[in-house]
Amino acid sequence: LSLSQSFRFGPLIAAEANKWLDILGADLRLRGSDHVWSQVMPCVHADAVLCRTNSEAMSQAISSLEAGRATAIVGGGGAVRALAEAAIGLKAGRGCSHPDLFAFQTWGEVQDFAFDDPAGSDLQVLVKLIDEHGPEQIIAMTGRLCDEKQAQTVVSTAHRGKGRQWDTVRIAGDFRP
């Protein structure tokens, strides 16, 4: 059975969600609770930032850390750390065993794929992060992440954020229009 009534958010959030469900061609429509106040508006500092990809999650976490906010990534920074470690091997021309990058032998091949092949667009944020900050700095930043309970900002992929709730949520810009 589809659950269409939510007690976690109000009618304004439901209306926004229904716009997206309509775009997706879904039959389901949500109803928010009249007893929960909510609004949809631009938000700079949110309790949570939802991203589509792990690389965008790291980009958001870096921005939050650089702003001096205690930051956590749902599930920890292990996935992004593994990508940065793979980049070190690729930059050295050794290839890597990372499931998203094992087909490449060098970092230049990853860069070319990310920016020259439409299929590589999901890697663009990761490549920009590595090129801008360096894999060693990305690894160091994953070490600066805190536990969610101490975080001022929690960063998550939408997938990992399912079933969770925060008072204020900002949607990152890596979702396709």
Helices 107-116 + 124-133 axis angle, to 10: 130
**pLDDT value of residue 140:** 93
**pLDDT value of residue 44:** 76
**pLDDT value of residue 145:** 96
Q: In the sheet that 153-157 helps form, which strands lie side by side, from edge to edge?
A: 71-73, 153-157, 48-51, 169-171
Q: pTM to 2 decimals?
A: 0.72
DSSP string for 76-137: -SHHHHHHHHHHHHHHTT-----TTTTT-SSHHHHHHHHHHSGGGGGGHHHHHHHHHH-HHH
Tens digits of pLDDT across the chain (177 residues): 777 888 888 999 899 889 988 988 999 999 999 998 888 888 878 899 999 887 788 889 999 999 999 999 998 888 888 989 999 999 999 999 999 899 999 999 999 999 999 999 888 888 988 998 899 999 999 999 999 999 999 999 998 988 898 989 999 988 876
Here the tokens at position 88 are 């070190």
**pLDDT value of residue 177:** 66
> Rounded to an integer, what distance in angstroms lies between the CA atom of residue 175 and that of residue 135?
24
> Rounded to an integer, what distance in angstroms lies between the CA atom of residue 69 and that of residue 64?
6
